[in-house]
Amino acid sequence: MMAACPACVAAPAAVELAQMANAVQLSVPSVRCAACISTIESHLSQVKGVVSARVNLTQKRVQIITDHPVSQMVDALGHIGYEAFPLASRALVNDVDPEGRDLLMRLGVAGFAMMNVMLLSVAVWSGASGATRDLFHLVSAAIALPVVLYSAQPFFRNALSALKVGRLNMDVPISLAIILAGGMSLFESLMGGEHAYFDAALSLTFFLLIGRYLEHSTRSAAHSAAKELAALEAHTAERQTETGSEIVPIDALKVGDIVLVASGMRVPTDGQLITQHGITDRSLLTGESEPVPHVASDQIHAGEVNLAGPVEVRVSAVGQDTRLHQIARLVETAENARNRYTSLADRAAQIYAPAVHLLAIITFAGWFLWTQDVRHALNIAIAVLIITCPCALGLAVPAVSTAAIARLYRMGFLVKSGTALERLSEVKTIVLDKTGTLTKPDFSFDLSAFHAEELGIAKALAQSSAHPLSQALNTYLSDQAPAKLTDIIEVSGCGVSGHLNQMEVALGKAEWLSPEQSGLILKIGEEVHALPFQEALRSGVPEMIRRLQAEAFDLEILSGDNAAKTSALARSLGLRRFRSEVSPEKKNARITELSAQSQYPCMIGDGLNDTIALANAHASIAPGEALDAARNAADVIVISDEMEKIPQVFAISRMAVALSRQNFGIAIAYNAVAIPIAVLGYATPLAAALAMSLSSVTVLLNAARVGYGK
């Protein structure tokens, strides 16, 4: 056979690496369904220079292989109505799950070996004796011992880590039972003993690996929100020099440098505005629903989006000193603090593990003093360890969590944290963000008092402006024919003007057109008309609020938006507690205050300004359209956009915790019956293995109850 050419073998990998070097990663929060995937991939594939485009619906990302700059790909998606944010590929978490694959492999090996050893054990239990029995025991040893050494390694490693620091965890009695069962079984087989524990050792390993894999599966969706914030940051900047401009990495910038930020691009670093006027969208940073106008010397921050023409910014902070990095550090601190939450299983282990060891030691000592037979005393002590091995306890929480998480997923909720259900069940106060959470990034208008000619003028002016409010008005008037205007000019930070024949018309903010009024103004000649508008409520929000109030939760709104909008929304929803113009740090401070009052707050938010609070809250929920960093800081993601179902998340969480406690009760009842039998020396290896398996199956069946329902 001819050997393959090394260059041919390496070629595909080289092509793949070359493509990945040109990969553009974009976060597209509004991707929701298969139709979105088809639309985006079809549109991008028609763009000249795009090699491929793939949408990841779960992560709401698009990966594009192209030589075009990121800004061009953002614009291409914007043309079909999808807002996109650049991400840095190198900063994103690797989606490969080697730990899950490893656990699944060990579980499969243990299950296969267990079935084979049990088949051999049937012959022994059926009456095989003498050389036949010894042969079956030795064959069982040849199968079981290598498998136990391989499959039980997760327990051995965790137990060793605990013992090194002088503490006990649930894996210590597990490891001791498995090792002693295997070792004593081998000794009995070589000495011609009647009983061996190989099947019990494998059963313990198999059932406990089920619990460990179920526990891992509830955590597998979790990512670091702090890393997602780093991915959101711009990673290059256009620095102005004496000879022109140059594209440089962010870490090459110094305080005092001047950078040019193109229209529609994210501000790469903190700094002062040099250009006379500018408009940025800082909703991701502060939650303000409307763009913010700026004048020269105003401070702007990394992460804001430039909505006006190109602007120049003098760098005032770089690297770890930017506001975006400060938020990322706070998020990381909050995540680490929440990870210290002690789960039900961990609290049980703190009591159960030392109790099992003490019982086994007392049993061994008692039987040795009674019989003076070390072998017999050790066999009974091992039987105690096996029959009390915490299989049921190991399955109690993971089995319920997995069933509950599966049910919530069918309802349209993705649970990402292993302890989320326990924390959600304890919540007393629910803190709500406004913009993007209770409201959509849309506006509704009351134009019933306007006639067709006026609406045509408004349409023509709105479609000529890049301002989000103008774009919302343009969409709202999609069926209206625009008037034929001339001399259309957009005045940065104010609005847009033009002429209808010889008459001047304008659309813009009240401060520009009619200072005595407020809001959005349409001016036609000397006539001034206010255009009433309000943010559109997200579907299902009123029903969600009503149900949460009926369940006696305390509700309050924390918004970065102004007082007028926040209070109007709170009144419309029947909420008395609200705070406006709240910074990310102040949101986090309020969450900390509620936690100190034992209110166990749950934060529901979607933006960068909510990320610290989401990570610091006792539990947290984010809409599916939320920013990547917010979704990854949250415990639960609403992937179905059915906000009215959120109260069921809390109800199912409480049910899951109740069933987990029932499972602990089952395990305790089992031990209350089994332990005396084992301590008195009546537990044979068969009885120990069957009793342990029966308790595990009972716990699994009880856990399945939480999965019933839609």
Cα separation, 569 vs 563, whole angstroms: 10
The DSSP symbol for 553 reads: -
Active site residue 433: yes
Q: Which residues contact 110 (CB under 8 A, 6 or more apart)?
A: 147, 148, 151, 152, 202, 205, 206, 209
Please report which helix (H) or strand (E) contains residue 292, including its range. Answer: strand 292-295
Would you tell me the crossing angle of helices 344-371 and 391-411 to the nearest 10 degrees? 160
List Cβ<8 Å contacts ≥24 apart for 650-655. 650/424, 650/425, 650/427, 650/551, 650/553, 651/551, 652/404, 652/407, 652/408, 652/421, 652/706, 653/404, 653/420, 653/421, 653/422, 653/424, 653/425, 654/425, 655/404, 655/706
Residue with tokens 């963000």: 433
Instruction: Determine the Cα–Cα distance for residues 553 and 268; give it in Å rounded to an integer.
Output: 41
The phi-psi region of residue 525 (left if phi > 0; otherwise alpha if psi is between -120 and 50; otherwise beta) is left
How far apart CA 388 and CA 678 sit, in angstroms, is: 9
As a whole number of angstroms, the distance between CA 229 and CA 91 comes to 9
Q: Could you give the CA distance from residue 251 to residue 249 in angstroms, rounded to a whole number?
A: 5
Cα distances (Å, whole numbers) of residue 521 to 16, 530, 533, 566: 54, 5, 11, 21
SS3 (DSSP) at 234: coil
DSSP state of 644: G
Strands 244-249 and 305-306, how do they pair?
unpaired
Pair 663, 396: CB distance under 8 Å: yes
Query: What one-character DSSP code corresponds to residue 482?
Result: P
Listing from the earlier edge strand, what are the strands of the sheet with 244-249? 244-249, 236-241, 258-261, 311-317, 270-273, 299-300
Which residues, in sequence order, are bridge partners of residue 61?
A: 27, 56
Q: What residue has token string 């780093």?
A: 230
d(CA 583, CA 441): 19
What CA–CA distance (Å, rounded) separates 157 from 160? Answer: 5
For 69-107, the three-class secondary structure string (H helix, E strand, C coil) is CHHHHHHHHHCCCCCCEEECHHHCCCCCCHHHHHHHHHH
- On whether the CB atoms of residues 269 and 250 are closer than 8 A, the answer is yes
Nearest to 465 by CA among 489, 449, 481: 489
What is the rounded distance in angstroms from the CA atom of residue 520 to the CA atom of residue 513?
9
Using DSSP, state whether 278 is helix, strand or coil.
strand
Instruction: Tell me how far the alpha carbon of residue 507 is from its chain's centroid.
Output: 42
Q: Which of 433, 606, 628, 635 is catalytic?
A: 433
Residues 246 and 260: beta-carbon distance below 8 Å:
no
Partners of 259 in the β-ladder = 239, 313
CA 382 to the chain's CA centroid: 42
For the chain, the residue count is 710
How far is it, in rounded angstroms, from Cα 605 to Cα 432? 6
- Extract the tokens encoding 379: 């066999």
Distance, C-alpha 169 to centroid of its chain? 28
Nearest C-alpha neighbor of 52 from the set 38, 39, 40, 66: 66
H or E, element range at 556: strand 554-558
Annotated catalytic residues are: 433
